[in-house]
Structure 1
Amino acid sequence: MKGIILAGGAGTRLYPLTKAISKQMLPIYDKPMIYYPLATLMQSGIRDILVISTPRDIGSYKKLLGNGNRLGISISYEVQNEPKGIADAFIVGRDFIGSSSVALILGDNVFYGEKMDNVLQRSVKTEDGATVFGYYVEEPSSYGVVEFDEEHRVVSIEEKPSYPKSNYAVPGLYFYDNEVVDIALNIKPSHRNELEITDVNKVYMEKEKLKVEILNEGISWFDTGTYHGLLDAANFVETIQKQQRIYIACIEEIAYKKRYIDKEQLLELANSMIKTEYGQYLRYIIER
């Protein structure tokens, strides 16, 4: 399976912060926001990753992440010239996807929890159909909402409904078989003139090939595309890291534990940031 991080858009909900910089380059405590979705894909075991961003911002991501070699993965890049909706990622990235299945994660979504690895390992095996996630929220009308039966088969999925049929929001992480490319090419733009990911999911639902994984207690999700979401995520990361000495979305640590890189490579990465707590944490991983 391959992975796509969609880090485009204008980030208007975060103006004026994002008038001159990509939203996904903003810090969430001690890391750029894009580290968090990248970490999620890496935790899934996905090593071939495409970053999609705007013409203005794509160079910043190339400078930050490079080709992924230092992490033992491959990172490539494509430009989305204008925001045409989440599902447009499959059209922009269709050559990258090729004949593979694909995971798509939005660049402003943060996931954390001990059980998250198990959820990801199940989802990455998606070869026929699609898997989305359900996260319980108090005010679901602000999100895409999924309704499902006892066997976790999706009954309905709606985008920001006035009268939600459940309290389960759909976070920005999706796993699809290769058919998603053709589906994205054939759906029609919405009234916003965008290719909606909900419309893609509805096609899978109508074919009875859409499953939902519930993110239960112990798993946290943050949509960091708002001021409050950005601050809440930063405070959460700071608390976990200081109290538990566990770094969230430490992509170098994930690469080391996945054996994408060895101890010498991790030490080199640590030494390049040794004046920071982040670099010192990498040394701690080696020495503990």
Structure 2
Amino acid sequence: MRPITHTSAKQLIPVANKPVLFYGLEAIREAGIREVGIIVGSTAPEIERAVGDGSQFGLDVTYLPQDAPRGLAHAVLIARDYLGDDDFVMYLGDNFVVGGINGAVERFRRERPHAQLMLTRVKDPHAFGVAEMGQDGQVLGVEEKPQYPKSDLALVGVYVFSPAVHEAIAELKPSWRNELEITEAIQWLIDQGRPVKSTIITGFWKDTGNLADMLDMNRFVLERIDSEVSGSVSADTEIIGRVVVGPGAVISGSRIVGPVVVGAGSVVRNSRLGPFTSIDCDCTVVDSDIEQSIVLRGAFIDGVGRIEMSMIGREARVVPGPRAPKTYRFVLGDHSEVRVGV
């Protein structure tokens, strides 16, 4: 996600104008969990401004600082005092799971394993943590990015643990990546005869680690929006399909082909948007054509023809320059400026 993530937290990149992290927090709340500890690093101030005390989600949020990325098991180690002897869910903040986590949490409460994993089938298991399965959802082994995968079942970034995982983490040594690996902690539980169960999900899941994943997730969410027009749409604007126009947004002389979201305070003039495009708050789009893209807060786009499959950072400017081709693809960092030919 560079250069976007050089200047902002990946977990706060908006999908359908809502940060990825917020989808996870909502899933946690829907599972009946109210106390949440968020592991934060260098982007802590930005995360804290966005999430606050958690009350907007019906949660009680505590922030737990980590001095550097030292692995998922290290994150649990940091949270040891906060967690006490409670069972807990670990939810990676850049993951998106359709259907939520209720099923995995409820099965954990009912069957009482020491770990409950969420798994999904993938085309290339070499790129993931992979589980070897036995009968009745029992996990026989886990391996991080194996050269010879024993299944096509990848670990989704949601885990439910009993306090036994703290005992496992206490036995770990840093891996070749100099990290404490959560897969090694899970394998320790298995080796010690502690039951580890799994739930296989068949719905949409994304680990939003690159632009293609973000755009896929944006498309998926936009496909499920309901139309709502709170802003101003002129009579000479054509709206087709499901479109959301936020309060204070002004659209004139344009064609909007849903699904599309236009955030509060944005201005769209003499342009075509969509399908599968999200325009965040306080943006300006003039004399341009944008499709299957994410435009972040405060971006300014004027007279650049066609943009597709792109992400435009906060306060970025895209304006005309000489000799423009018909189509552009961008990943622009916050506060950047690109001049393109016309």
Asked if TM exceeds 0.5, the reply is yes
The whole-number CA distance in structure 2 between the counterparts of 1:125 and 1:95 is 26
1:48 has 2:35 as partner = yes
Larger radius of gyration between Structure 1 and Structure 2: 2
Structure 2 residue identity aligned to 1:153? Q
Identity, in percent, stands at 30
* Residues 28-74 of structure 1, C-alpha deviations (whole Å, 9 max, x = no match): 221011112212211211100011111x3111122111112343320
Structure 2 residue identity aligned to 1:118? G
The whole-number CA distance in structure 1 between the counterparts of 2:262 and 2:80 is 36
Taking the TM superposition and a 5 Å limit, the aligned residue runs for 1:157-236 are 157-206=142-191, 207-216=193-202, 219-236=203-220
Using the TM superposition, give the Cα deviation of residue 117 of structure 1 relative to its aligned residue in structure 2, in angstroms: 3.5
The whole-number CA distance in structure 1 between the counterparts of 2:101 and 2:81 is 29
The whole-number CA distance in structure 2 between the counterparts of 1:48 and 1:275 is 35
Structure 1 residue identity aligned to 2:34? R
Structure 2 residue identity aligned to 1:165? K
Q: Is the 8 A contact 1:126 1:177 kept in 2?
A: no
Q: Which has the higher contact order (CA 8 A, sep 6+)?
A: 1
Aligned position for 1:100: 86
Taking the TM superposition and a 5 Å limit, the aligned residue runs for 1:49-198 are 49-54=36-41, 56-113=42-99, 117-123=102-108, 127-198=112-183
Q: 2:13 aligns with which of 26, 31, 48?
A: 26
Quickly say closer, same or farther: Cα 1:122–1:278, change in 2 above 3 A: farther
Q: Is the 8 A contact 1:101 1:126 kept in 2?
A: no
The whole-number CA distance in structure 2 between the counterparts of 1:130 and 1:278 is 42
Quickly say closer, same or farther: Cα 1:126–1:32, change in 2 above 3 A: farther
Q: 5+ unaligned residues in a row in structure 2: which ranges?
A: 229-245, 250-260, 265-342
Q: 5+ unaligned residues in a row in structure 1: which ranges?
A: 1-13, 246-272, 281-288
Using the TM superposition, give the Cα deviation of residue 275 of structure 1 relative to its aligned residue in structure 2, in angstroms: 5.1
Using the TM superposition, give the Cα deviation of residue 191 of structure 1 relative to its aligned residue in structure 2, in angstroms: 0.6
Structure 2 residue identity aligned to 1:220? F
Number of aligned positions between the proteins:
235
Alpha-carbon RMSD: 2.4
Q: Is the 8 A contact 1:44 1:124 kept in 2?
A: no
Aligned position for 2:292: none
Structure 1 residue identity aligned to 2:84? G
The whole-number CA distance in structure 2 between the counterparts of 1:29 and 1:210 is 35
Q: Is the 8 A contact 1:130 1:211 kept in 2?
A: yes
Q: Is the 8 A contact 1:145 1:164 kept in 2?
A: yes
Using the TM superposition, give the Cα deviation of residue 123 of structure 1 relative to its aligned residue in structure 2, in angstroms: 3.4
